Structure 1
Amino acid sequence: MTSIGRDLEQALGQFLQRRNTARFYDEMLARAPEGVDRHNYPVLAGLGRVGPSTAARLAAEIGLDRSRVSRHAERFENMGLLRREADPDDARGTLLILTTRGHKAINAMRSGVAAYLDDLIRGWPDGLAESLIDGLTRLARESDDTPPNRPPAGQDP
């Protein structure tokens, strides 16, 4: 592992510690409808990010099992945050779709996090936040393109 890779691993590890992620969830959930919590929020966030999806596809996207996604989706449907429609690509499938109320809830939660982040970076030098955004965006894109179980750099498969 290169020094920069090691440094990045350390920085990401520190950033993703529970105390930091808890602050993000606190900011999101302060603006969430009653009934949305840390455990079920990923279902709403996932739908907000990927758009209409089956429970199976959404589960794969957000890293939860399908039955758990379905349980959370049922709760959100009862709350008026999402609806189900027949999947036009698969007659046996059902799409989970955010309602207008669901989109408003996601936008409110995201704006809480955005305000929190704005406060954190307020005193940063010009361009630093933009560089971080560019780097994280690229890191996410390239990690999505990396096949799982890739051998470590410098080793043959």
Structure 2
Amino acid sequence: MENRVGQEIADALGVLLRRTTRTKLHGRLTEGMGEALDELTYPVLSALARTGPRSAADLASEVGLDRSGVTRRASRLEAAGLVRREPDPADRRASLLVLTEEGERAVGELRERLVRHIARSLDSWPPEEAETFARQLRRFTAEGPFS
């Protein structure tokens, strides 16, 4: 039984972690939020919100891109006023990517959209099952193979 459950979880995680799954979700979440904010730039904006100011090189591993990929996406976000560059106090040759107030508002809207999207997908579940799932998923991410 243990292997079967592990396999079911591994299969489900495979779907969740697939790049196409994430890209599709990011596209839905960013719809109508302006040209600069789309499924390609969403991970950069979201990662900055999670980690705080970072260089493009440091952010690259967080979003699964190389430095030049982060830089291209950050430039689009910067042109839209969602991100700004500041000198890195630890390295004069480098700059940090920082969310602007407008960027922080966009992240807030994106998080609200994500919460509504998840809640709608659970509408058909009995409330106690949805609550149990949320609690167990939180436990799995805290204690499981990701910790």
Matched with 1:45 is 46
Residue pair 1:52, 1:95 contacting (<8 A) in 2 also: yes
Q: Secondary structure at the match of 2:65?
A: coil
Shift in alpha-carbon separation, 1:106–1:125, aligned structure 2, 3 A: same
Q: Which residue type is aligned with residue 61 of structure 1?
A: E
From the two aligned structures, give the one with the greater helix fraction. Answer: 2
Residue pair 2:53, 2:98 contacting (<8 A) in 1 also: yes
Partner Cα distance (1:71, 1:126) in 2: 43
Question: How many residues are aligned here?
Answer: 145
Within 5 A, what are the aligned runs for 1:51-70? 51-70=52-71
Partner Cα distance (1:21, 1:96) in 2: 23
Shift in alpha-carbon separation, 1:77–1:18, aligned structure 2, 3 A: closer
Q: Give TM-score, length-normalised by structure 2.
A: 0.82
Residue pair 1:84, 1:94 contacting (<8 A) in 2 also: yes
Q: Which runs of 5+ in 2 are unaligned?
A: none
Q: Give TM-score, length-normalised by structure 1.
A: 0.77
Q: Which runs of 5+ in 1 are unaligned?
A: 146-157
Residue pair 2:48, 2:99 contacting (<8 A) in 1 also: yes
1:79: Cα distance to partner?
1.1
Partner Cα distance (2:145, 2:29) in 1: 26
Matched with 1:84 is 85
The two structures, once aligned, show a CA RMSD in angstroms of 2.4
Alignment partner of 1:25 is 2:26: yes
Residues 94-113 of structure 1 show CA distances to partners (whole Å, capped at 9, x for unaligned) of 11100010111111122122
Q: Secondary structure at the match of 2:73?
A: helix
Of the structure 1 ranges 43-52 and 127-136, higher mean CA displacement relative to structure 2 is found in 127-136
Residue pair 1:43, 1:69 contacting (<8 A) in 2 also: yes
